[in-house]
Structure 1
Amino acid sequence: MDSSSVCHAEHVPSCHAEQKRSIHTGWRADVWTASSLFLAKISLRPRIEVALSTLACMRVPVAFLLVLALPICKSFYCYISETLSTACMPVVVFVAPLCNAAALASLEALAKQPDISLGVISHFPQEQLPLHIRLRLAAHWQTASALNTAELLYAAEKMHTYFGKIDVLLSTNEHVQEALALIREKFGIAGMRPDVAHNFRDKARMKQRFFEHQIPCARFQRLTSRQAAYDFVEQVGFPIILKPLCGAGSVSTFFVDSYAQLEPALAQLNPSEWNVALAEEFISGAEHSLETVMHHGRAVWQSVSRYLPNALDVMQNAWIQWRIIVPNAAEQVAYSDIRHAGQAALSCLGLETGISHLEWFRRPDARFAISEVGARPPGAQILTLHSRAFDCNLYEEWIRLMVYDQFSVPTQRYACGVAFLRAQGYGVIKHITGLDEVMRECSALITDVQPPKLHATPTGTYEGDGFIIVRHEETAKVEQALEYIINTVRVTLG
């Protein structure tokens, strides 16, 4: 199939590579395109003259002709009006390498916007999206790899050609932010530019800017060889953290506290001039995140969550059922130091308008140190937690911010928390115990539940195989409920 061909949204061919690389449009675009082609290819005047002559010979009254013509004229007027209004709508293109919770929540929010034309670029077929979202799509492009910059650029060019413009380009995925910045610059789309995106993706460059602006963070070293890691150990001592330079979500992150552990970690990362890695001093302390909404260089909303236990412990121990807690408004006051530093960190990296996810540690002596920050919404249900705590939908607020340059600052009403349910053992999920008991005992606190699925293969991720979200005005009540959940529910493989 030619890459410029148009296919109906409810039936997207997917068996051939060329078919996957075509723009798939929604039903309204199909109707409008067909109508435009029809009107362009025929001459209406001769047909109208013939029709009028025939009716005149039949001696049809003029009044009857007017009665026939009025509905046709009205329909044509409505069609033209809708087409013109659609042409003036903002064109929003959302990039979704994965069909995960954050992407779906963002697409749900976009689908609720009545006055946008929505395009999606994804690695997965659009049939994986819920029907009500598919019906809102004006166009969809399936790439061979949504993490490949060349593929994304090609897809964006096709979207730009199809729509005639792109006003907003978004993604919740950390790994595509630099590619999106390049596309924005090429097509003159408003938003983050490549230099700023690189500040957020290159963790060594990020920390260097923190040091230059006297923002507390861990000591670090860019690794272009294995010897550089040994030199860093000589400088700061064990333990240290090794990870990819442009990583996210604690993936391929290693805790190293001896030379015996150093070499295997380096063997997996294999640092070189072409595959740069990062070494950091290990920070002992309680891990938190700080979410911030920036509007024209000013922090207009911030909220803190804390991880129990720290993310690295969760990644290294697949059996841990862990928690994230958003303390209530009274306890949020205690985080004024990191709020101030968080805004300074975002400003020195260059974020003007958008949402960010900053991870940081509270040391035993009460000092803090920033770990890293991403210029995109957080994963692990964190934005959903803040939405429940502030009694709003922060995905919708983020979309309004990026599309319309508007953000309604919410007020916190609750403490909130999530417990992640993780399978133990080997095989597929065979047994789920304690869930009914939890649903009965905690029903007044539970806002969201995604139970593990029987006979499913475990995800193997830190988010596990299901989750339960609870909220209450008191943080202690939320902590107690989460503790009860993780000690009661068991997901067993077999």
Structure 2
Amino acid sequence: MNYLVISPYYPENFQPFTIELAKKEGVKVLGIGQEPYDQLGEPLQNAITEYFRVENLEDIEEVKRATAFLFYKHGTIDRVESHNEHWLETDAALRSQFNIFGPKSEDLTKTKLKSEMKTYFKKAGVPVVPGQVITSEQDVQKAIADIGFPMIAKPDNGVGAAATYKLESLADIDQFFAEWDRQTAYFFEQFVTSNEIITYDGLIDHHGNVVYEASLEYVYTPLQLVLEQKDNAYFIHDKVNKKLRQYGQNIIKTFGMKERFFHIEFFRDGDDYIAIEYNNRPAGGFTIDAYNYAHSIDLYRDYASIVEGEAISERRYKPQFSLTISRRDQNHYVYSEEEIKHHYKDHVKMTCRMPEAFAALQGNMIYILTADNIKTINEMVKYIGKTK
């Protein structure tokens, strides 16, 4: 099997995907990126059979030419993947061009457009709130009449809470009009008062079966992170709620994805859940590491196993909670990093700097800790995030 990795170097915490794939006897790993070969470092250099450096990874035609060269030299390319939201369209375009297994360009509408996601959520029998696509000022007036205030406005094709507006009055509508470029399609939907966002995440095998599942809960919503510059914090639950699992697996079946990670966001609404967004990739940042620490597993290795058609690793240990929390350089905290490591010496699993590209949204310094119960998780959030 020839497996093409797009951007194998960045983000650095995704490098184990490439390294673990290369350990499989039947997998030859190829790479396309824009970093110089010498920058990759020895572990990646040893894992990649051939690396093609392009001047601009954003230039799809240049990337296609690089892929064609690797195809000519090494034979049929069987997989192409980045696991990265930024390159999902590039991945799909290459699969379409070279007839490679996995989501093609025409499959992206249901995983990129919020309006299309909602259609599939309804097919899956999962609760959603009313919403409408907005491409003109007349559409906005119709949404006001049909949905009413308050509403949330997001780019129909967008990630997280970027360029998001909370609309509670006509004054907010005027502000939206003043900033909207009239080219970006928006999706307006009824504002949900719940501040509890929880996810159903996991890994699907070649046959569409969920072989790993987890549930992640945000301490602050993505909108709060943007508007209030809160410290990003979320935790992995030790187990998945039964109703959430049913909703999530119905969605997986309806979307029809195979051999890939997924990250589905919901509002918790009392004892029920309202679907927000389907992400056809793993959760961002260092979340895979958080899953690994919470459940004492290695998802990088497990992914390589499902690509090779093997069984995944046996789950030998009882799952725990796992907290990921960030701190911002501009804030003044009560407790130093040394004090955190001493106070939670048996719990701290990982500390690292967030790449600058993600720091504005997610913070500069990341801490991952484990705990046996939610009470300890809540104490950790207060201790680490306490400011002077």
TM-score normalised by L of structure 1: 0.71
Give the match for residue 185 of structure 2. Answer: 276
Give the match for residue 200 of structure 2. Answer: 290
Counterpart Cα distance in 1 of 2:17 and 2:362: 18
Shift of 1:278: 1.8
Map 1:291-370 onto structure 2 (within 5 A).
291-295=201-205, 296-318=207-229, 320-329=230-239, 332=240, 335-363=241-269, 365-370=270-275
Map 1:185-224 onto structure 2 (within 5 A).
185-224=96-135
Counterpart Cα distance in 2 of 1:267 and 1:142: 42
Map 1:24-43 onto structure 2 (within 5 A).
none
Shift of 1:348: 1.4
Asked whether the equivalents of residues 98 and 122 of structure 1 are also in contact (C-alpha less than 8 Å), the reply is yes
Counterpart Cα distance in 2 of 1:480 and 1:263: 42
SS at match of 2:118: helix
String of CA shifts for 1:256-290, please: whole Å, max 9, x gaps. Answer: 32332333334444244xx4222222222201121
Q: Which residue identity does 2:109 align to in structure 1? A: H
CA distance 1:132–1:487, change in 2 (3 Å): same
Q: For structure 2, list consecutive stretches of 5 or more residues without a partner in the other structure.
A: none
SS at match of 1:449: strand
Could you say which structure has the larger radius of gyration? 1
**1:435 is aligned to 2:337:** yes
Counterpart Cα distance in 1 of 2:247 and 2:301: 26
Asked whether the equivalents of residues 95 and 104 of structure 2 are also in contact (C-alpha less than 8 Å), the reply is yes
Shift of 1:154: 2.6
SS at match of 1:443: coil
Identical columns (%) = 19
Q: More relative contact order in 1 or in 2 (CA 8 Å, sep 6+)?
A: 2
Give the match for residue 292 of structure 2. Answer: 387
Give the match for residue 58 of structure 1. Answer: none
TM-score normalised by L of structure 2: 0.89
Asked whether the equivalents of residues 325 and 479 of structure 1 are also in contact (C-alpha less than 8 Å), the reply is no
Asked whether the equivalents of residues 239 and 281 of structure 1 are also in contact (C-alpha less than 8 Å), the reply is yes
Say how many residue pairs are matched: 385
Asked whether the equivalents of residues 132 and 189 of structure 2 are also in contact (C-alpha less than 8 Å), the reply is yes
Q: Which of 143, 146, 163 does residue 74 from structure 2 map onto?
A: 163
String of CA shifts for 1:119-171, please: whole Å, max 9, x gaps. Answer: 22224334443332123222222334434443432332222122122122111
Shift of 1:114: 5.4
Give the match for residue 481 of structure 1. Answer: 380
SS at match of 2:100: coil
CA distance 1:250–1:417, change in 2 (3 Å): same
Asked whether the equivalents of residues 147 and 175 of structure 1 are also in contact (C-alpha less than 8 Å), the reply is no
Asked whether the equivalents of residues 154 and 187 of structure 2 are also in contact (C-alpha less than 8 Å), the reply is yes
Q: For structure 1, list consecutive stretches of 5 or more residues without a partner in the other structure.
A: 1-89
CA-based RMSD of the aligned residues comes to: 2.7
Counterpart Cα distance in 1 of 2:304 and 2:374: 29
SS at match of 2:360: coil
Give the match for residue 402 of structure 1. Answer: 307
SS at match of 1:249: coil
Shift of 1:308: 0.4
CA distance 1:148–1:203, change in 2 (3 Å): farther
Counterpart Cα distance in 2 of 1:405 and 1:150: 35
Map 1:59-98 onto structure 2 (within 5 A).
90-96=1-7
